[in-house]
């Protein structure tokens, strides 16, 4: 009985996994620029950039901004989720630019991917610690990491479009700001 | 070794399909991009030819030696094909993407361990222990290929990497065949040397021929050009350009 159950379970996981991943691949392959753009969710750009700026350009009295202020600026857990979802779309938009500017598109997409990994890692730790209520002291550090990664990604993408496709740049800038 | 008429027909059909695919890969210069896949197909052609010749004119012992030697090489080449696809998809800049390789290898290793565990748990009813190990080995191979492929496609999708037309076609064909192969091996492991054993093997061969025909079509076609923008977007940009021109004229 055990072999039957085990093989059925493995077969179900493999079938389900491969089918789902193929669907995602096909969606990525067929996705149009407009479809990607409408997937972007609103993120409070100015407050997030302000937090990132404070972190990257230290001034005297670095602890002036309280963690709760940073949390509010990032839009709380919902804001984190939005940034995380947008990160995927930003990568796809950069990968899309490979169609007319392959060399720069590939490199910028890779840079954005690395920023996205930092963002994902930070948001994962924040969500985990918030859910478990444990080791909350580290949350502000992860908030800063997320706050730095997101504006960097958007700036990289905007710069890529500004140099390689000025026609689409205004709509992208409008969607990201 | 007694093969039915249908076995012989499938054998011949597989040989013809493999030769046709090999010719396409060479003629269209796809072997340059897919050297391991081309080697695997060339190996299948040689193996088909060798096994059929030995079956007709050689001894059962020689047939056994060639068959068992080929199993290891076949598995190594199948692994090579999955790694070849991973190399193309997960290293678009020429070097492997950060986290992509480690993630792919981690999930691949976990999948291989799982495959070993499942193959050990299964106790196929076979003629002797060697026969049982053959069934277990087949199950391990097909499960391992499916899991590695799943690990690769998951890594690629997580990083938002897009596949080109040929890699996607190769992936689709390989997935379909590997899944059928896994289903056949799973049923053979559970049922052992039941009367349906040969029938299941024939189903696997038919799936292989189907996959090869699909690859012939895919690799015959040129790499699909991905248009920079859809016609609607191009129209929008032309209109935008015309509007800017008009506004500029008015300002001047």
DSSP A46-79: HHHHHHHHHHHS--SSTT-S-HHHHHHHTTHHHH
pLDDT per residue as tens digits for the range B7-44? 888 888 999 999 999 999 999 888 888 999 999 999 99
How close B157 gets to chain A, by Cα (Å)? 7
pLDDT at A66: 83
* Residue B82: pLDDT over 80: yes
Cβ density class A65-92: b for 16+ within 10 Å, e for less: beeeebbebbbeeebbebbbebbbbbbb
pLDDT at B130: 74
Neighbours of A132 (CB within 10 A): 9
pLDDT at B226: 58
Residues of A in contact with B189 (CB under 8 A): 3, 7
How many Å apart are CA B202 and CA B5, to the nearest integer? Answer: 11
Question: Is the CB of B189 less than 8 angstroms away from the CB of A3?
Answer: yes
Question: Is the CB of B157 less than 8 angstroms away from the CB of A29?
Answer: no
Whether B192 has its CB under 8 Å from any CB of chain A: the answer is no
Task: Using alpha carbons, select from B220, B247, B75, B61 the residue that is nearest to residue B144.
Answer: B75
pLDDT at B37: 94
Q: Encoding tokens for residue A108? A: 């910028």
Q: Say what the pTM is.
A: 0.71
pLDDT per residue as tens digits for the range A6-47? 888 888 888 898 888 888 877 777 778 888 888 889 888 888
Looking at the partner chain, which of A2, A107, A113 has a beta carbon nearest the beta carbon of B159? A113
pLDDT at B1: 58
Residues of B in contact with A24 (CB under 8 A): 157
How many Å apart are CA A91 and CA B92, to the nearest integer? Answer: 14
pLDDT at B94: 67
Task: Using alpha carbons, select from B184, B120, B115, B103 the residue that is nearest to residue A13.
Answer: B115
Q: 3-state DSSP call for residue B127?
A: coil
pLDDT per residue as tens digits for the range B124-151? 776 777 777 877 888 888 888 888 888 8
Whether A115 has its CB under 8 Å from any CB of chain B: the answer is no
Mean pLDDT score across all residues of chain B: 82
Q: Encoding tokens for residue A168? A: 């689409």
A25-29, B45-49, B89-93: range with highest mean pLDDT: B45-49
How many Å apart are CA A98 and CA B91, to the nearest integer? Answer: 15
pLDDT at B237: 67
pLDDT per residue as tens digits for the range A103-120? 777 778 888 888 888 898
Chain A residue with minimum CA distance to B160: A92
Question: Is the CB of A29 less than 8 angstroms away from the CB of B168?
Answer: yes
pLDDT at B152: 82
């Amino acid at each position: 009985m055990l072999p039957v159950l085990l093989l059925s379970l493995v077969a179900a996981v493999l079938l389900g996994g491969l089918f789902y991943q193929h669907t995602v691949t096909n969606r990525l392959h067929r996705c149009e620029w407009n479809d990607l753009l409408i997937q972007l969710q609103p993120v409070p750009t100015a407050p997030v950039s302000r937090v990132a700026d404070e972190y990257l350009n230290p001034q005297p009295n670095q602890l002036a901004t309280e963690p709760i202020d940073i949390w509010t600026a990032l839009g709380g857990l919902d804001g984190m989720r939005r940034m995380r979802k947008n990160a995927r779309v930003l990568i796809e938009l950069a990968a899309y630019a490979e169609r007319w500017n392959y060399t720069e598109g590939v490199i910028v997409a890779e840079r954005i991917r690395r920023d996205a990994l930092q963002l994902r890692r930070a948001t994962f730790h924040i969500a985990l610690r918030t859910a478990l209520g444990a080791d909350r002291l580290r949350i502000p550090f992860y908030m800063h990491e997320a706050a730095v990664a997101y504006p960097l990604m958007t700036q990289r993408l905007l710069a890529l479009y500004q140099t390689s496709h000025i026609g689409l740049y205004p709509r992208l800038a409008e969607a990201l700001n | 070794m007694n093969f039915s008429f249908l076995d012989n027909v499938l054998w011949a059909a597989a040989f013809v399909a493999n030769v046709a695919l090999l010719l396409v890969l060479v003629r269209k210069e796809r072997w340059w991009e897919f050297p391991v896949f081309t080697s695997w197909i060339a190996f299948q052609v040689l193996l088909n030819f060798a096994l059929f010749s030995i079956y007709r004119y050689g001894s059962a012992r020689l047939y056994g030696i060639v068959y068992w030697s080929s199993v290891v090489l076949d598995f190594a080449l199948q692994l090579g094909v999955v790694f070849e696809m991973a190399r193309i998809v997960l290293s678009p800049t020429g070097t492997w993407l950060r986290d992509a390789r480690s993630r792919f290898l981690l999930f691949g290793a976990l999948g291989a361990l799982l495959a070993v565990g499942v193959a050990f748990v299964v106790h196929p009813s076979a003629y002797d222990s060697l026969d049982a190990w053959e069934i277990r080995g087949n199950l391990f191979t097909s499960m391992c290929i499916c899991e590695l492929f799943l690990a690769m496609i998951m890594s690629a999708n997580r990083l938002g990497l897009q596949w080109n037309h040929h890699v996607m076609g190769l992936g689709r064909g390989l997935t379909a065949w590997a899944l059928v192969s896994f289903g056949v091996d799973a049923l053979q492991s559970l049922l052992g040397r039941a009367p349906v054993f040969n029938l299941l093997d024939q189903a696997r061969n038919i799936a292989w021929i189907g996959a090869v025909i699909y690859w012939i079509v895919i690799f015959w076609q040129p790499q699909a050009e991905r248009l920079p923008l859809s016609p609607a977007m191009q129209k929008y940009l032309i209109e935008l350009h015309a509007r800017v021109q008009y506004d500029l004229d008015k300002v001047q």
